[in-house]
Amino acid sequence: MARRSHAVAAQRRPHTAPATSHAPRWRVDEVDWSRIDQRRIAGHEELFYLLVSASFIESGSDLYTSNLAAHYADHPEVAAWLQAQWEHEELQHGRAFELYVKAAWPDFPWQTAFEGFIAEYGPLCSMDELEPNRALELAARCVVEMGTTTYYQTLRSLSTEPLLTELLGHIRADEVNHYKHFLAYFKLLNAQRPAGRARVARVLYKRLLELRESDSDVALRHVWAHKGGMFPQGAQSFEDISQRVYRLVSSRLPADQAVRMLLKPLQLPRRLEQWLQSPLERLARRVIAT
């Protein structure tokens, strides 16, 4: 009887997408890059690799944002938000990281390294990577946005440079907002033709596995290949720096937030979601540590 009442209540409150605002919360062209405290950042080898890698991936985001917008051509509201806000903000993130890297580490040949990255990364961004079911692809995007949100939160916790901390706060807030939009659009489309929790869970798990074999590996290789004589006393091999940055991020990643964000697309009863939270957090920490 309670389940029937819940269903009736859901019908009375249909899923709606969040209001879309085109007014940016911050602008990269208003950032004063002279504020960077070189003493706090120039010698931080791990953050150098993490930030340059992020600058490559975000700067190449138009390769997959255009594919995703085309994927939702039959859903004008979703396509409009993807093109007018999501793509713009993703590219702004890339530009911000690019300018920060160039100001903090002026000896790094950013453009040359980025072109090498794009040559390898570009072919990986194809329509074949998207879920044929539009609702399920939106659920999968929630996994990606969970990854970026927690990643930038982790980098922010590692930063002691004030401008970088501020910048990462802006970018993390954008990613949280993107997650909320993808989740709302998923609920909207899935309500029209429900996919079922089992199918949603499989898509979430599949995209989660792909995060472990992420684009950051491609980016990191191109940072290493072009670092030249930077950090002469630092990592002596790509395997060394790769393991170091992975361990650093893994040790600080907010598993509790990641699990909460992963569970939302399953639309579980609140009591079940709360019951799963703690054991999944423990599992996530063990997986991250391996």
Q: pLDDT tens digit string along 204-261?
A: 989 888 876 667 889 999 999 999 999 999 999 999 999 999 889 988 889 899 999 9
CATH number of 40-289: 1.10.620.20
Report d(CA 32, CA 214) in Å as an integer. 32
Q: Which of 28, 43, 281, 44 is nearest to 171 (CA)?
A: 28
The answer to whether residues 29 and 92 touch, using CB atoms and an 8 Å cutoff, is no
Q: pLDDT tens digit string along 76-99?
A: 999 999 999 999 999 999 999 999
Q: Kindly give the interhelix angle for 45-59 and 238-252, rounded to the nearest 10 degrees.
A: 90
Taking the model in full, what pTM does it have?
0.88
pLDDT tens over the chain, length 290 residues? 333 333 333 333 445 556 555 566 899 999 999 999 999 999 999 999 999 999 999 998 888 788 898 899 999 999 999 999 999 999 999 999 999 999 999 999 999 999 999 999 888 777 777 899 999 999 999 999 999 999 999 999 999 999 999 999 999 999 999 999 999 999 999 999 999 999 999 999 898 888 766 678 899 999 999 999 999 999 999 999 999 998 899 888 898 999 999 999 999 999 998 888 888 887 776 655 45
Collapsed DSSP state (helix, strand, coil) of residue 219 = helix
